[in-house]
């Protein structure tokens, strides 16, 4: 498991749609990767805010745009 895999599986992970093995790999990775821990935590909170303000669940369109934005952010060179 690496950071890119975490980002790739992020929406499935948050939806609880992953294999138990994959889910555990992400959790193990997060334990020693602050970036991914923050990413998952922030995304989870963002989705909760969306869900609380909207009666409908996050649409696929919104989810994929959020996902793209996160991927771009992760791939930015560090300063
Ligand atoms: Zn990571």
The predicted structure's pLDDT at residue 56: 57
Residue 25 has what pLDDT?
96
Listed by start position, the domains of the chain span 3-75
By CB atoms closer than 10 A (0-12, 13-18, 19+), residue 13 is: buried
Q: How would you write the pLDDT of the chain (79 residues) with one tens digit per residue? A: 899 999 999 989 988 899 999 999 999 999 999 999 999 999 888 887 766 765 556 677 878 888 888 888 887 766 5
Provide the whole-model pTM. 0.61
Residue 54 CA to ligand 1 center (angstroms) comes to 30
The CA 17 to ligand 1 mean position distance, Å, reads: 20
Q: Which two tokens stand for residue 7?
A: 């980002």
Are 29 and 40 a contacting pair, CB within 8 Å?
no
């Amino acid at each position: 498991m690496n950071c890119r895999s975490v980002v790739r599986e992020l929406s499935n992970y948050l939806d609880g749609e992953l294999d138990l093995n994959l889910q555990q790999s992400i959790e193990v990775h997060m334990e020693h990767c602050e970036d991914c821990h923050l990413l998952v935590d922030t995304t989870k909170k963002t989705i909760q805010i969306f869900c609380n303000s909207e009666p409908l669940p996050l649409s696929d369109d919104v989810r994929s745009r959020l996902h793209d934005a996160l991927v771009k952010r992760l791939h930015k060179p560090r300063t």
